Amino acid sequence: MRANESNAKLNAKLSAKLKSSPMARGATRLKTIAKAGSKPSVTAELRVSPALAPMANSFSNIGSPSLRLLTLLEAIAQSEKPQTLAQLVVRLDEPKATMHRLLLGLEEMRFVQRMPGGRHFAPGPRLNTLAIDTLRHSHISAQRHSILKRLVSDFNESCNLTILDGIEVVYLDRAEANWPLRMDLKPGSRVPAHCSASGKMILALMNPSIRDPLIKALPYQAYTPQTITDPNDFQTELDRIARRGYSIDQQEYAAGLNCLSVPVLDDNGQCIAAVAVHAPTARLSMNEALKKIDRLRWAASAISATLQNQGINQ
In this predicted structure, the answer to whether residue 15 has a pLDDT above a threshold of 70 is no
DSSP 8-state assignment for residue 115: P
For position 275, what pLDDT does the model report? 97
Distance CA 239, CA 9 (A): 75
What confidence tens digit (pLDDT) does each residue in 95-107 have? 888 888 889 888 8
Q: Which of 270, 199, 204, 285 is nearest to 237 (CA)?
A: 204
Q: Select the highest-mean-pLDDT range: 47-51, 83-87, 208-212, 305-309.
A: 83-87
Mean per-residue pLDDT for 34-60?
A: 39
CA–CA distance, 71 with 110 (Å, rounded to integer): 16
Mean pLDDT (whole number) for 303-310: 75
- Helix (H) / strand (E) element for 46: namely helix 42-48
At 281-290, the pLDDT tens digits run 999 999 999 9
Mean pLDDT of the chain: 79
Label residue 23 by pLDDT band (50, 70, 90): very low
Asked if residue 87 has pLDDT above 70, the reply is: yes
Kindly report which listed range (102-111, 219-228, 261-270) carries the lowest average pLDDT score. 102-111
Nearest CA to 279 out of 162, 191, 178 is that of: 178
> Out of 65-74, 84-93, 214-223, which region has the weakest mean confidence (pLDDT)?
65-74
